[in-house]
Structure formats: structure tokens, C-alpha cells
Structure 1
Amino acid sequence: MYDQINKAISRYVAFKPDELDVFDGLLEHRTVPKKTIMLHEGEVCNFEAFVVKGCLRKYYIDENGHEVIIQFAVEDSWISDISFSIYENQPSQVFIETIEDCELLTFTPEAKEALFLRAPRFERAFRILMQRNLAVTQNRLFCTITRRGVEKYQDFLAKYPTIPQRVPQHYIASYLGITPEFLSKVRAKLAKS
């Protein structure tokens, strides 16, 4: 059950078997049905989740009542509300919802701190994960600001080739910051070329 997450975390730091045993012992295996809201806006986030199987989305509701998707999480990726909620213990501004039936490995902030005390090299691995997450977020912001709709969609397909078969088109449009109608035109244009 832990091979997938152990392989993923070991990309950044080489761990000894006993360190991975400590890590694995702090994880909680969860099976979550699709369309389950795991975090509501206003709640304090108390988990970080590694996706073993399935697809989730993180989104907020804008001032016009529209959902704005800020992250998709599929196999071998992480999802949480690290901005304010999990580390600052503040109410979340986002929702986290399963799009498909999901199999997750989760841990609490307290379990993570216990991990750092018992296996300190994990602190480096999670720091690297945070740096990579920041780089991806900054790149996404740059692309959102500087690219046209067709380029945004092409970039999305290059980075997330399986998601268009797994989520409704209006979710992708929300993620890209365009309307579903415009996304339909973009897809039609690309199909012709």
C-alpha cells in the first residue's frame, strides 16, 4: 500500500527503510467516494493528502458565485490548503472535493511534526516538495496572465494529459480562467489543425 508514496517521496531524498517505516506508520489510508467535499470554506484544514488513486479539485467561490478551480490532484500528487489553514490554523478560503472515487494517504500537521522529530530527513524532502509547489504555482500564474486561451489549453494538455478524459469541460475552463464556450471553440480549432 505504501510503495507508491515511498517512491514519490524518495525522488528528493534517499531514505533508509526504518525512516520509511516511521513515515508509513503515521499515514492514514482513506477511501473517499466521488463528490465528497473533504474541506469546506471556513473550516480549518487538518490534513495533507497524497493521491494513490483518483482525482480531486481545490476551488473557491468568487464574488459572483462562480467556482474557480485552482488545483487538480491526480495520482502521485498532493493536495491540502497550505496557504493559511494548515500551518496558520486559520479558516480555509477553499473547498477540496473528490471528482472520482479516491484512495488517499493522509496525515495531520501533528503527525508531520512527529515525523520530523523521529526522521528529520523528511523535513528536507517536504521543503523540496514545497519549493516545487511554489514554482508550479508561480508558473501557472505567469501563464494565466501572459498566454492566450489556445496556448493555455495546450500548456494544460502537456502538463495534465489525462485530466480532459476525467473531468467535465467546465472544470477545465474554470481552471484556465476562460468560459466553457470559449474552451469549446479552442478545442474545435485544435481538432481541425
Structure 2
Amino acid sequence: MYNELILNNISKHIHLEADEQAHFMSLLQPLKLKRKQIHLYRGEVCKHSTFVLSGCMRGYTTDFNGFEHILNFAPPDWWIADMYSLISGQPGHITIDAIEETEVLLLSKADQEKLYIQIPQFERFFRIITEKSLVSYQERTLENLSMTAQDRYLRFCKRYPTLINHIPQKYIASYIGVTPEFLSKMRNDLLKQSK
């Protein structure tokens, strides 16, 4: 089943023959993470692209006052990494952890580079993934600068529909840049408006 999930993810962008699929799968390292277990610490070099099979992960940064600012989530069928660190080989700026018990597949940067030569379609696949990540981060920046909290919440609901009632509200509040209390009031107001 898990093989099917990641192979379907890849088939959205490239076609692989059976032997290419088998080779790709042989490079993946399964990993189970406990709830709240850190997968990548800020300041470490990100050495893997991580594909989520089950559970959910988040990428976040912590400011000088100790407040967490969630940058992205990775539910099942999503990839996550500190893209800056993975590409540059420099220490990263974000922490990645598991919100709940999570199973992932890791693809090392070294194996990813080898795949580009062995199966050239993977260069296209990871270019598309990287471009989507760049677009997502740019959208997030523009949302934070120009949208109201309500609009940011509605955009979150569209981007992560499976997470709305699945993850703690404090994480959603952090993602859209409001307090949990403000989010609760805003959700109640939206509920009243929809009636």
C-alpha cells in the first residue's frame, strides 16, 4: 500500500518503468516517528527529502521570544524538507517534527543526485516539487503581508482540507499568525455566517 502511495505521487509528474520503480523504491529508507519527535533540528544540515506515508509533520521556526511560527504542514502524500539546507548544504533554518505518530520514507540527497543520472525523469520530478515549494512559500509570504486573518484561515482550509479538524487548533493558529483564542472566535463567527 505504501509503495502505491509514493509511486502514485511520482506518477502525477513522470512515468517510470517497473525496473525504474523498483530501483527508486530500493533507495528509500522507512522511518517511524513518535508524536512530537524532532526529525530535523534548526541548525542541522538537511540531508533527506522526506515523503509522508501516514500521520502529519510540520516545519516551523522559533523566534527570539520563543514563539513558534509554522511555515508548512506535510500530511500523507506530501514531501517535506528544509529546502534551503537541502539544496545549499548549509545549516537549516527550520525545525521539522511529527505532530502525531508518523511514518515516512527518506530519500538521501546523495541518492537523489544519483537518480538524476540513473533515471533522468527524476530531475524533472524534483524540479517540479521544488518549483511548487517555491510558489507555496511566495504565496505564504504574500498572504501574511496582505490578507486578513480570516482570509488566511480560509486559504489554509483550501490548502490543507484534511487537517482542519485533524490537528490541534494551536498549530492552525500559529500557521495563520493569530492566537488560538482569536482563531476560535473567528471560526465561531464563520460558522454563524454560514447559517
Partners of 1:26 and 1:115 within 8 A in 2: no
The question of 1:147 aligning with 2:147 is answered: yes
Counterpart CA distance in 2 for 1:111 and 1:33 is: 26
Give the Å deviation of 1:77: 0.4
Structure 2 counterparts to residues 120-135 of structure 1, below 5 A:
120-135=120-135
Match of 1:41 in 2: 42
Counterpart CA distance in 2 for 1:164 and 1:2 is: 27
Counterpart CA distance in 2 for 1:158 and 1:126 is: 24
Match of 1:110 in 2: 110
Match of 1:166 in 2: 166
Q: Which amino acid in 2 is paired with 1:136?
A: S
For each residue in 1:21-63, what CA deviation from the matched residue of structure 2 results, as whole angstroms up to 9, or x when unmatched? 1211111111211110011111111111101111011111112
Between the two proteins, the alignment pairs up a number of residues equal to 192
Q: Percent identity?
A: 39
Match of 1:177 in 2: 177
Give the Å deviation of 1:127: 0.6
For each residue in 1:126-154, what CA deviation from the matched residue of structure 2 results, as whole angstroms up to 9, or x when unmatched? 11111112122222222222111111111
Unmatched segments (≥5 aa) in structure 2: none
The question of 1:20 aligning with 2:31 is answered: no
Counterpart CA distance in 1 for 2:174 and 2:4 is: 34
SS at match of 1:3: helix
Q: TM-score, normalised by structure 2?
A: 0.94
Give the Å deviation of 1:166: 2.2
Counterpart CA distance in 2 for 1:140 and 1:60 is: 14
SS at match of 2:53: strand
Match of 1:91 in 2: 91
Counterpart CA distance in 1 for 2:128 and 2:91 is: 26
Q: TM-score, normalised by structure 1?
A: 0.95
